[in-house]
Amino acid sequence: MSLLSLVRRAVLALSLMVLATAWVPKPAAAEDVDLKLVLAADVSRSIDDREFELQRKGYAAAFRDPRVMRAIRSGPLGRIAVCFFEWSGSESQKVVIDWTVIGDDEQAGYFADKLLSEPRSAANRTALGAAIEASTRLFDATSIDSERRTIDVSGDGTNTNGRPPILARDDAVAAGITINALVILSPEPMPWNPEHTHPPGGLENYFKINVVGGPGAFTIVVEGFETFAEAITNKLVKEIALDGGATILAARPKPPTGAPLR
């Protein structure tokens, strides 16, 4: 065999190896974050349009708050992944903003702007159990990875539809997920179903028994939607920061003399 033939065979073999390598599918690289957080916002029919607007604006303001960014940057990786999800009845659930990595002011600002631009997804009954189940499934819908997984549920009433939330909560906790709750109190009971917003023992107690669970789980009570922004900011800092955000929240600037405290 001539030298030229040997060279041709070597080149052909090398070309085939390159082509074979090019056709091997490569898995997408998973991005690690300090926390995967599902924000599960209640948009059931007990929340009117004004309250819905205050809720959305409150979430957007929280992601523009320097305290939330300090909490995000305090982690080992300095970034988290957030998915914003709205829920009402057992068949009324929608991802408003899919998984978004937030590690700087620009990314946080994008997330806040998106919150303000998207329309309301539903206004149905209150299916807390279905909301927890749907939130749990969202963690497997992304290649982004974290050892910490948290569902942040906001709600202004008890479950009225679908699977009991206590069962969905127990399944989520068994899977290593923590569920925290932002309990929104209504000044007056609903005329047609007073125990929905004012159950025996109080709404916060209902959420403690039926909704929250997992390591370090907690509830925060909101006295109406007017104070929602400050409440969700405090809640985000507490669940994002590894130390619970005590130092960050303690450093909150004092209001000017004579300014009302919130």
How far is Cα 254 from Cα 249, in angstroms, rounded to an integer? 11
Q: What is residue 221's predicted lDDT score, i.e. its pLDDT?
A: 93
> Residues 161-174: what's their mean pLDDT?
95
Q: Where are the alpha helices (DSSP H) in 74-224?
A: 105-117, 128-138, 165-174, 194-197, 203-210
- Going by pLDDT thresholds of 50, 70 and 90, the confidence category of residue 111 is very high
CA-wise closest residue to 38 among 160, 152, 116: 152
Tell me the percentage of the chain whose pLDDT exceeds 90. 55
Q: What is residue 251's predicted lDDT score, i.e. its pLDDT?
A: 64
Domain ranges of the chain: 36-249
Q: What is residue 161's predicted lDDT score, i.e. its pLDDT?
A: 86
> What are the pLDDT digits (tens) for 1-39?
555 454 456 544 554 444 343 333 333 346 899 999 999
249 has a pLDDT exceeding 50 = yes
Are 59 and 172 a contacting pair, CB within 8 Å?
A: no
How far is Cα 90 from Cα 212, in angstroms, rounded to an integer? 19
> What are the pLDDT digits (tens) for 116-143?
998 776 666 788 999 999 999 999 999 9
Q: What is the pTM of this model?
A: 0.81
CATH code assigned to 36-249:
3.40.50.410
CA 1 to chain centre: 68
For residue 175, count other CB atoms closer than 10 A to its CB: 12
Q: What is residue 156's predicted lDDT score, i.e. its pLDDT?
A: 85
Q: What is residue 177's predicted lDDT score, i.e. its pLDDT?
A: 98
Q: Which residues, other chains included, contact 63 with Cβ-Cβ below 8 Å and sequence gap of 6+?
A: 102, 108, 109, 111, 112, 115, 236
247 has a pLDDT exceeding 70 = no
Are 115 and 56 a contacting pair, CB within 8 Å?
A: yes
How far is Cα 197 from Cα 190, in angstroms, rounded to an integer? 7
Tell which wins on pLDDT, 243 or 40: 40
Worst-scoring range by mean pLDDT, 41-50, 80-89, 195-204? Answer: 41-50
